[in-house]
Amino acid sequence: MNDAQIFVGIRVLIIEDEALVSMMLEEFLEQIGCRMMGTASRLDDAIIKARSRPLDMALLDVNLAGEASFPVAEILTARDIPFIFVTGYGPLGLPAEMRHIPILPKPFQMAQLVDAMRMAAY
């Protein structure tokens, strides 16, 4: 079993305001067997989906069209759903209480995504 096969069937939400990045993530995650539970590019939509969708994991862009996505991170944390911050800001761009969350730095390679997902899941 290769590393990516451990994610077959997991339900993932992508929260990303850059359409190209979102599509690339969605395509790759589907290729490794993830079940896509939707995408959100705006904070209000992300909050609704984070609260209501059955999820096993989420990928969360820190900056959604100028709005910080930390309210979504708080919802995911309260629901005990692992997530990854996808950001170009690095850990110093996160609140201190969220710096333990795995970060996928932009730009990234797909192998880095798999590594970050593994870190978030375990």
In order, the DSSP letters of 80-121 are T--EEEEESS-GGGS-GGGTTS-EEESS--HHHHHHHHHHHH
Q: In the numeric block, which tokens belong to residue 20?
A: 């190209």
Q: Give residue 89's pLDDT.
A: 83
Predicted local confidence at residue 1, as pLDDT: 46
pLDDT tens-place string over residues 76-116: 999 999 999 999 888 888 999 999 999 999 889 999 999 99
Domain ranges of the chain: 3-121
Fold topology of 3-121 = Rossmann fold (3.40.50)
User: Are 113 and 25 a contacting pair, CB within 8 Å?
Assistant: yes
Residue-wise pLDDT for 28-86, tens only, equals 999 999 999 999 999 999 999 999 999 999 999 999 999 999 999 999 999 999 999 99
User: What is the model's pTM?
Assistant: 0.92
Determine which helix (DSSP H) or strand (DSSP E) holds 46, and give its type and residue range: helix 43-52
